[in-house]
Amino acid sequence: MLAIEVELLTGRYAATAHNDRGRAEWPPHPARLFSALVAALHDHDPVDPAERDALLWLEQQGAPSLRADPESKVGRRQVQDVYVPVNDVALGGDEAIREAEKKLVEAKTPAAKRKAQAALEKVRTDSVAIVTEYSDDALTTATALMVAPFVGVGEKKDGKWKRQQGRTRRARTFPVVLPETPTFAFLWPNADPSAHHAALERLCARVTRLGHSSSLVRCTLADRGLMLTLEPSDEGEVVLRVVGPRQLERLEEAFQHHRAVEPRVLPARLQRYRAVSDVAVPHALHESVFSSDWVIFERVGGSRPLASRATDVALALRKALIETHGNADLPETLSGHTANGPAKQTHVALVPLPFVGQEHADGALMGCALVLPRELPKNDREILFRLLAKWEKQRTNERGELTLAAGTLPPFLVRRVDVPSKKSLDPDRWCRPTKRFITATPIALDRNPGNLRSNRDRTAHRAALEAQKIISDACLRVVGIRPISVEVSLAPLLPGAQHVRDYLPWPGQPGRTARVRAHADIRFAERVRGPLLLGAGRYFGLGLCLPVEDR
């Protein structure tokens, strides 16, 4: 068996569908992977004969099976038109090729398929023909692409010639998909790659992108069995582009025409795929009692507090909403209180979101979010959004900003957004399923484990074991299962996170004992879907955990 696994290093896949310029391609087409391997082959000068032989062998292995998230687990970024200068005027065959490919897919009878295939080959041949004569319209358009010189052209203003550009602009789109699982794989179950294993490993190691240049990947040969989700079948409904014999030669011939400058079309054949119906899910995915349904406020100005001020920002947000609401009682799912004290059921959490987990992370709060419970009643949700609308109407300044301030917290300016511009505010970053979580803000433990700082008579060791049990209990309440391991630390475990000592006592109210806080690295035996908010301060920004992948 041969399996090539691809990891999306940025968690996103940017590649335009071949038959719809406004939609992203998913799942990734096998022909696109082969083209990336060919590009890696020619990145090495001179070309390694062993690597070339490996690709000649691979193109003979037929259409691979795939393991990739189904469409139901893939998020799609909203596509916006971007106007860019036009560089090509004489070549316009892409649209004709897409139309011919569409007709081939729709063909039902063998005769119709042969006719559609012949038409597609003719359009592809015409698209790479070298144009030696141009129409008057093409020459006029080409002239419009030229940038006018400074002197003698354009409009004279203030005694100087103003430079004009005749270059036209055309709308372009850059569609992106965000799969739940940032890895996918191509599998040839009956292939024996032993003779070419080393060469294929070298090629995969040099593949840095798949699709658009922003779609960065890590490509490796998988040495373990992978569960299939799609397999080639003439009865399937999913149509993907795959390769066949002479694919390497066709790609090299096409390069001699376009030279990486002119428009190009990926040579390929179309193959139908069907979903593997007997895909077994070994265990149901465990989910947090909190949902990925968030109301996001992005920082737009004012102070730039660090994560250690998370509880201050959360309290300021709660104070603003309560003041706007007035004296009337709120449902306990929103207020967190009942007539007899704190609510026992899960309620809305106010969660400041820090910049952590990346190389240059500094722990600054990028904004905050209202994290809704998974079982929030419809009426309570409507009350919450009416309250937000009232707050925005009353308190928004002329620039559309809302001010959060409480106690010693300097004014923190935010704006409610549907699609945040910062990755730290993206719910997918905090909610994606994984087996491992690390705290971005420390957990306020539900009971006192003992002195975690003492070195006398193994006191700190016993306290750490007790803290592990407390965090395990907290995980059970929030996601329904216990972790298989918990490591606790007073020092931060993520880039940008802050030491426990940097945080003010919680809850910080007279007469109430401050909670012991600790960072944690938590591992589960099965994948868990976040957001994972743990401990006594989980409703106010403490115990926020970031999903991470084991490397």
Q: For 60-102, what is each residue's pLDDT tens digit? A: 999 999 999 988 788 876 555 555 555 544 444 556 777 777 7
pLDDT category, 490, cuts 50, 70, 90? very high
| Whether residue 194 is found in the same domain as residue 76 | yes
CA distance to 3, 177, 204, per residue, from 228 (Å): 11, 20, 21
Q: Are 53 and 14 in contact (CB under 8 A)?
A: no
Q: Name residues whose C-beta falls within 8 Å of residue 378's C-beta, 6 or more positions apart in sequence.
A: none
pLDDT tens for 340-353 read 777 788 999 999 99
CA 508/CA 191 separation, integer angstroms: 64
Tell me the torsion sign for CA atoms 373, 378, 383, 388. Answer: positive
Q: Say if pTM beats, i.e. exceeds, 0.75.
A: no
**Which DSSP helix (H) or strand (E) runs through 100?**
helix 94-106
3-state SS class at 526? strand
CB atoms within 10 A of CB 523: 16
| Whether residue 373 is found in the same domain as residue 259 | no
CA 411/CA 417 separation, integer angstroms: 19
pLDDT tens for 223-239 read 766 788 999 988 788 88
Both structure tokens of 451: 């002195």
Half-sphere exposure of 477 (CA within 13 A, CB side): 15
| Whether residue 371 is found in the same domain as residue 304 | yes
| Whether residue 58 is found in the same domain as residue 128 | yes
Question: 225, 247, 275 — which closes off a domain?
Answer: 275
Res. 165: pLDDT tops 60? no
CA 12/CA 3 separation, integer angstroms: 21
- The number of domains in the chain is 2
3-state SS class at 250? helix
Q: Name residues whose C-beta falls within 8 Å of residue 164's C-beta, 6 or more positions apart in sequence.
A: 148, 153, 154, 155
Half-sphere exposure of 77 (CA within 13 A, CB side): 22
| Most confident option among 217-221, 243-247, 406-410 | 217-221
Q: Name residues whose C-beta falls within 8 Å of residue 323's C-beta, 6 or more positions apart in sequence.
A: none
- DSSP secondary structure letters along 114-133: HHHHHHHHHHHHHHTPPP--
Which has the higher per-residue pLDDT, 97 or 453?
Answer: 453
Radius of gyration of the chain (CA): 29
Q: Are 499 and 454 in contact (CB under 8 A)?
A: no
**Which DSSP helix (H) or strand (E) runs through 313?**
helix 310-325
3-state SS class at 504? coil
> Which amino acid type is present at position 515?
R
Residue in 336, 317, 314, 541 with CA at minimum distance from that of residue 443 = 541
CA 121/CA 115 separation, integer angstroms: 10
| Whether residue 295 is found in the same domain as residue 399 | yes
| Whether residue 121 is found in the same domain as residue 229 | yes
**Which long-range contacts does 250-253 make (Cβ < 8 Å, 24+ apart)?**
251/35, 251/38, 252/38
Structural domain that includes position 34: 2-275
How many helices (H) and strands (E) in the chain? Answer: 12, 29
| Whether residue 385 is found in the same domain as residue 484 | yes
Is residue 441 situated within a structural domain? yes
CA 330/CA 322 separation, integer angstroms: 9
Is residue 56 situated within a structural domain? yes
**Which DSSP helix (H) or strand (E) runs through 201?**
helix 197-206
pLDDT tens for 261-290 read 555 667 888 898 998 864 444 446 799 999
| Whether residue 14 is found in the same domain as residue 65 | yes
Is residue 280 situated within a structural domain? no
Is residue 282 situated within a structural domain? no
CA 135/CA 163 separation, integer angstroms: 28
pLDDT category, 213, cuts 50, 70, 90? confident
End-to-end CA distance of the chain: 23
Is residue 260 situated within a structural domain? yes
| Whether residue 313 is found in the same domain as residue 198 | no
Both structure tokens of 169: 């602009």
Q: Are 271 and 240 in contact (CB under 8 A)?
A: yes
| Whether residue 260 is found in the same domain as residue 312 | no
| Whether residue 264 is found in the same domain as residue 410 | no
- DSSP secondary structure letters along 3-65: EEEEEETTS-B--EETTEEEEE--SPPHHHHHHHHHHHHHHSSSPPHHHHHHHHHHTTS-PPE
| Whether residue 343 is found in the same domain as residue 480 | yes
Is residue 261 situated within a structural domain? yes
Question: 255, 275, 295 — which closes off a domain?
Answer: 275
Is residue 410 situated within a structural domain? yes
Both structure tokens of 385: 């959004």
| Mean per-residue pLDDT of the chain | 83
In terms of DSSP bridges, do strands 337-338 and 341-342 run parallel, antiparallel, or are they unpaired?
A: antiparallel
pLDDT tens for 338-389 read 777 777 889 999 999 999 998 899 999 999 999 999 988 888 888 888 888 8
CA distance to 443, 452, 471, per residue, from 459 (Å): 20, 7, 18
